[in-house]
Structure formats: structure tokens, C-alpha cells
Structure 1
Amino acid sequence: MTTELVAEAIKKAGIAWVSADGGPAQGLWVLPLGGALIVLSGPGEQAAPGLAGAATAQVRLRGDTGGLILALDMAVERITPGGEVWSEVAPQLAAKRLNASGTVEEQVARWARTDCAVVRLTPADTEPVAAPHLPDDAGAAPVRETPARVEVRRPFRLHRVRKRR
């Protein structure tokens, strides 16, 4: 496989399925930047459990039609606030963040203050998986238990409701 496919898939990515530390894959908003994917997570932002502390992550990228075109391992690098890379990446990330409250400077300051993780994912040296070697299954996992799911009672009806034919 060529690195052109990897570069093109990263460049067009807006969302990626990321799995860190062998956990379940999560659909995360990503920002393609310089051949890497930038991911923001933390308080008030998207949840990416285990990603900030991981060394590698498994990433699945979709194509123009929405289907899986590439699965690869990526190296994880956390970008620390106040550094040179932070001052370059964080404002670009804030500018692309949809539905954010406040200015770009306020968002960047809030991320640094609340210990949000800005992570750069770069392709690892391992061979990516692309067509025709992609898995045949959908990759769907069973629904995880959550306290948000509760049994719902049927609505109360005073009179009989006739079925339409």
C-alpha cells in the first residue's frame, strides 16, 4: 500500500474511530494538520478515555462515501500547554471547533486551565490495512450498559386506539 492513501485519508478526515489501550473504539472529531490528526478531549469536550496516556492508538478512517477505507496504528503524542507546538496547534483547533463558546483565545486558555488533552496522532511504522484486506464484519460492538438506559412504561391511554388499516 502506498503512503499516498494514508496521507489522503488523513487529510480528508473529519471524524475517526479511535481505540486506545485495547478499549472500545470511539467516534471522535479530529482536525487533520500536517499529516497528523489532532484530537481534543477533556472536561467540557469530547470524551476519549485512555487516549491522552496511551503510546499508540488504533484508528479507522472513512472515505468519501462514509465506508471504512483504512485501519492503521498511530503514535500518540500529548501536546502540553505553553509549548511552541501548543501555541501553533491550539489556536487552529479552536478556530475549527464548532459551537464553541467564547473567542479562540478564551477557548485555548480554558483548555490549558481545565487540563484538556490536545493529542497529535501520527501514522506509526506498521503496515496499514486497506482494501481488499479490510475486515468483512461491520465492526459493530454490542451496546454497553449505561445508567442512562431505563425501562420506559407504555403511555397511558384513556380510550382504545384503533389500528389503521
Structure 2
Amino acid sequence: MGTSPDERLLRALYAEHGGPLLGYALRLTGGDHQQAEDVVQETLLRAWRHPEALAKRPVRPWLFTVVRNLVVDAHRARVARGGRHLPIDDGQATLAALPGSDDIDRALESWTVAEALADLSPSHRAVIVETYYHGRSVADTAKVLGIPPGTVKSRTYYALRALKLALEERGLAP
């Protein structure tokens, strides 16, 4: 007997995203391992129930947003049921310090861009870092990298094309 497509999807999601999701959930729950595991399990269950959500956008940011929403919802439910506010060591400070969803989206996009940059060849990555992140001119980049200015221009052109492709593969570029 083989595994169903649904089971393969869940296994693939867990294999690719389970570790980072658990780490994030642990931070949000103040280190409560059981609650963090429950949140990750519920997140993957929601991904399985709503495969259309995975097809329309990058998967990892959506998963991280679901984790955050589940932790916040659980906290609000505890307070609404008359539960006491959580002490600082149970995650209240973590929840209070949570950035808004826009900040989380920006952070996830930054991680995705960093992963895409890591996939570039060292020469392409170096030229992108020098020109875009350090803001150097072509001439300054040529001096720093010890290559001719024409090489900086051509590497930048091809590096940007490779970066765009890497970002498209991750669902971040149009």
C-alpha cells in the first residue's frame, strides 16, 4: 500500500518547514514545547485542509502567519475564559513584543531573499552584496573585488537575473 497524495503533502510540508515552524512556535509560546508542537500540528492540518491557500502564495510566510495567529488566538481565548494573564515566563512578554503581521512578512521575505542569495554563485553573490547592500559604485566594487569594471557590470546583470529566478522559485518575484 502506498501513501496518499494528502499524506505525501503533509510529510513534505513537515520535512521542509517543520523545524523552523517549531522554533518560531517555541519562541511565541515562551518555550512551551507541547503547546508549540500542537500549534505546528494545527498549522500543517490547516495547510492540508486549504491547499488552495498554498497555491496562491509563498508557502513559508503563510505557515508562519498561521502559527502566529494560532498562538495569539489561544492567548486571547485563555483571557476571554477568565484565565489570568500569563506571567512573563509563560510567554506574555513574547506575545506583547510580537511584531505586526507586516513586520513578520518583511522578516520572512528577508529570510527568503537571503536564502536566494545563498543559492547564487560566490562571484554573483559578491557583486550583488557590494553594489546593492553596501551601495558601492561599479568602480568601487571593481576595486574591492579586484576585477575590471566591465566584469562588475556583466556579473551584476547576470547575478540579478539569477536572483530573480531564485526569488520566483520561492514565490517572491512576479
State the TM-score, normalizing by the size of structure 2. Answer: 0.27
Structure holding more helix per residue: 2
Greater RCO, 1 or 2 (C-alpha within 8 Å, sep 6+)? 1
Q: Which has the larger radius of gyration?
A: 2
